[in-house]
Amino acid sequence: MPVSAVGAKNDQAADGCFPGALFFNAENSTGTVRVDNVRAPQVGAPLLQPIKYVKKVLLFNYEAPMVIPCGKDIPASVAFYPGFELHDPRVYATNIGCGYVDNLQIWEAGDTVM
């Protein structure tokens, strides 16, 4: 999800990079890489961008991920996926290697999580 109109930097790192990575579901069935809501106008794109100074990993179903190094933007050629199917937590579970998760519990607003 886009978070800032400017490229936020980590003031505590010499290279400005935040540790870790951002992970996004993506698909390439049309010949164009399309990504989960990071490019969606409904969540602020194109006015806002994901954090630039962190590694970004685009996850594909049973394919090698696309890794975008810290300090680089997600390429303009990566398009917005026009639905929210890629945002389904089960797709993330599959794409990170957990296999298909059919019985994933999604908590509702107001639920108490213990």
Is residue 54 very low, low, confident or very high in pLDDT (cuts 50, 70, 90)? confident
Rounded to two decimals, the pTM is: 0.75
Model pLDDT, residue 102: 59
| Cα 55 to Cα 69: distance, rounded to the nearest angstrom | 5
The strand pairing partners of 56, in sequence order, are 22, 68
Residue range(s) defining the domain that contains residue 82: 1-114
Residue from 86, 78, 67, 85 nearest 22 by CA: 67
Beta strands in the chain (DSSP E): 21-27, 34-35, 55-60, 63-68, 79-80
Question: Is residue 69 predicted with pLDDT exceeding 90?
Answer: yes
Q: What is the signed CA dihedral for 68, 18, 2, 71, rounded to 10 degrees?
A: -40
Distances, alpha carbon 24 to alpha carbons 29, 59, 106, 114, in Å: 16, 6, 19, 27
Quick: pLDDT tens for 13-24: 999 999 999 888
Q: How many structural domains does the chain have?
A: 1
| Cα 78 to Cα 17: distance, rounded to the nearest angstrom | 22
Q: What angle do CA 82, 92, 45 make, to 5 degrees?
A: 35
Question: Is residue 72 predicted with pLDDT exceeding 60?
Answer: yes
Quick: pLDDT tens for 27-51: 888 788 888 876 666 666 666 666 7
